[in-house]
Amino acid sequence: MLRYVFAALCLFSLPAAADEEQVVLGLSQDRVAITADFDGSEILIFGAIKRETPIPPGPPVAVIVAVAGPSEPVTVRRKERKLGIWVNTDSVLVDLAPSFYAVATSEPLDQILTDTEDLRHRISIERAIRSVGAAMHIRGAQDFADAVIRIRESEQLYSIRENTVAVDEQTLFRTSIDMPADLTEGDYSARIFLTRGGEVVSQYETTIDVRKVGLERFLYNMSRQQPVWYGLMSLVIAIAAGWGASTAFRLLREN
Amino acid sequence: MHIYLPIAEVSVNAFLLLGLGGMVGILSGMFGVGGGFLMTPLLFFIGIPPAVAVATEANQIVASSFSGVLAHFRRKTVDLKMGTVLLTGGLIGAALGVVVFNYLKSLGQVDLLVTLCYVVFLGIIGSLMFIESLRALRKAKKGGAAPAKRRQRGWVHSMPFKMRFRTSGLYISVIPPAVVGLSVGVLSAIMGVGGGFIMVPAMIYLLGMPTKVVVGTSLFQIIFVTAFTTMLHATTNYTVDIVLAVLLLVGGVVGAQIGTVIGSRMPAEQLRVLLAALVLVVCGKLALDLLLEPSELYSLGNSGGH
């Protein structure tokens, strides 16, 4: 009986395994703990390409690794000169923009990924941001999405690192992703794409858990769950420190 | 040494924060101002989200003012009665200010309002103080013992509900101090400051209080108004970062103590020229930001809440 179930399972899982090449992945860490002295993190992503068949002919395999933080809507405002001063005028809601986005590739992205595939899998930074709701009456709505990218790139939250994935013998690959110190919490997704001649032939996705721990976790939770107590505690700590330092300083001067 | 702030969700250098706190603390002790009008923009510059900067600054001002006010209590330079009247107005004002703040936030114009408030108030007060204290300095140099002109006894003294403020040596209506407290409360909620830089001149020029008790009394009022503001922010916006506040105040309380000593050793008139110059510099910087084309025309805002 068990044997039949197994056989059935194999049959059902066959379509999923239709890719001739599959990713077997390793991560140096699948969780990032944000502690008080958190100063960024480097995640090593490595893996192998598993094949049941010989390496297909044609262009060699290329690897794209995309790590994305949790997506949330962002309001983008533009300043204009009004009455001599610079004022926020138009604003556009960018529906979804990841808080962090890094793409590492084995070759320049435009050589290993066609536009159609990019559109389908939302791989490049431009595609990872969605602003379908951008009001048409606002001049240059695309400028607003570009501004998100420009600002976050300057904060090193968005980056594209071409030629940083090393691929050996079309089988082994590895890269490292630098995560800056200013990370927000959440489930980060790590997606790995294998492409040949611009087409995605296989993909793999896993999650990296980015969480505050210890004191950071405690304070954050308390500020959300018991805001009154958190506020009072902040005041008490502040006043105690103020009084303590004042007394210490006075004693120091008197002696 | 970098430290990750749990509420602000950014990583900053701990020594930078200690230094900022200490520097602003010295000024706070010297002039009796909370220092928020300097600290809040400085926190923006180092990348703290504005909502967190404003709320945390309120918390930090409580602490730096507390050590300052203790020093003034020992020297008996706090007018408790006047402080209570100012405070009553201040609490009502702070609540009103938060309502205005939240309304403008929904319009996306909070930054503009805050900056304009700074420029207008700092500009007016800075210039008035600067001119006034330069004149006083010149007089003091020339005449030596030139009798200080008695404060004008105008409309402030013809109002009802008079009350005797012994420490200040005043017998005036409670309406002007309550109104001063209220306006400072509104501004402190909008601008994320204690409001000392407005209250101190208002007490000197409007209420005619002696300079000696002005600093202690304004610190007394600031403590309670900023504590109230802290609670409002902590319970509605969840933006009080205690780690940030502690770092700022460790530097701040030590600085405030040094500042109080410096302040008590310097002649009041020179102190006022310095404060006026400082206020004008901050004002000029903020005005330039409004007038010059910014290098980045776009700004990102979190649409989920604050």
- The answer as to whether B305 is a domain residue is no
Residue with the larger pLDDT of the pair A47 and B256: A47
* Interface contact flag, A242 B64, Cβ < 8 Å: yes
Distance from the Cα of B230 to chain A's closest Cα (Å) equals 7
pLDDT band for B302, please (50, 70, 90 cuts).
low
The residues pairing with B4 across neighbouring beta strands, listed in sequence order, are B11
| Structural domain of B210 | 2-291
> CB-based contact (8 Å) between B189 and chain A?
no
> E-strand spans in chain A?
21-27, 31-34, 41-51, 62-68, 71-82, 85-98, 101-105, 158-161, 166-168, 172-179, 186-196, 199-212
List pLDDT tens digits, range B43-73: 877 878 777 888 888 888 887 777 678 878 8
- The answer as to whether B301 is a domain residue is no
Considering only CB atoms, which chain B residues are within 8 Å of A38?
2, 4, 11
Task: Give the model's pLDDT for residue A153.
Answer: 87
Distance from the Cα of A89 to chain B's closest Cα (Å) equals 9
> CB-based contact (8 Å) between A85 and chain B?
yes
- The answer as to whether B74 is a domain residue is yes
- The answer as to whether B277 is a domain residue is yes
The nearest alpha carbon in chain B to A219 belongs to B6
**What is d(CA B214, CA B220) in angstroms, rounded to the nearest whole number?**
10
For chain B, the domain total comes to 1
pLDDT band for B154, please (50, 70, 90 cuts).
low
Nearest in space to A62 (alpha carbons), one of A23, A12, A102: A23
- The answer as to whether B171 is a domain residue is yes
- The answer as to whether B298 is a domain residue is no
Cβ atoms of B239 and B54 closer than 8 Å:
yes
* Interface contact flag, B70 A150, Cβ < 8 Å: no
> CB-based contact (8 Å) between B13 and chain A?
no
- Could you tell me the mean pLDDT of each successive run of 10 residues in chain A, 255 residues long? 47 48 82 80 87 81 90 83 80 82 90 87 83 57 82 87 87 88 85 88 88 83 87 87 75 75
> CB-based contact (8 Å) between B7 and chain A?
yes
**What is d(CA B60, CA B84) in angstroms, rounded to the nearest whole number?**
21
List pLDDT tens digits, range B180-200: 899 888 887 777 777 777 788
- The answer as to whether B276 is a domain residue is yes
pLDDT band for B142, please (50, 70, 90 cuts).
low
Residue with the larger pLDDT of the pair A176 and B205: A176
CATH 3.40.50.150 fits A12-212, yes or no: no
Nearest to A77 among B2, B64, B108 (CB): B108
* Interface contact flag, B4 A35, Cβ < 8 Å: yes
Out of A57-66, A76-85, B147-156, B248-257, the most confident range is A57-66
The domain spans of chain A are 12-212, 213-255
- The answer as to whether B306 is a domain residue is no
Considering only CB atoms, which chain B residues are within 8 Å of A40?
11
Cβ atoms of B30 and B19 closer than 8 Å:
no
* Interface contact flag, A37 B2, Cβ < 8 Å: yes
3-class SS of residue A148: helix
pLDDT band for B173, please (50, 70, 90 cuts).
confident
The nearest alpha carbon in chain B to A226 belongs to B235
B66 residue type, one letter = F
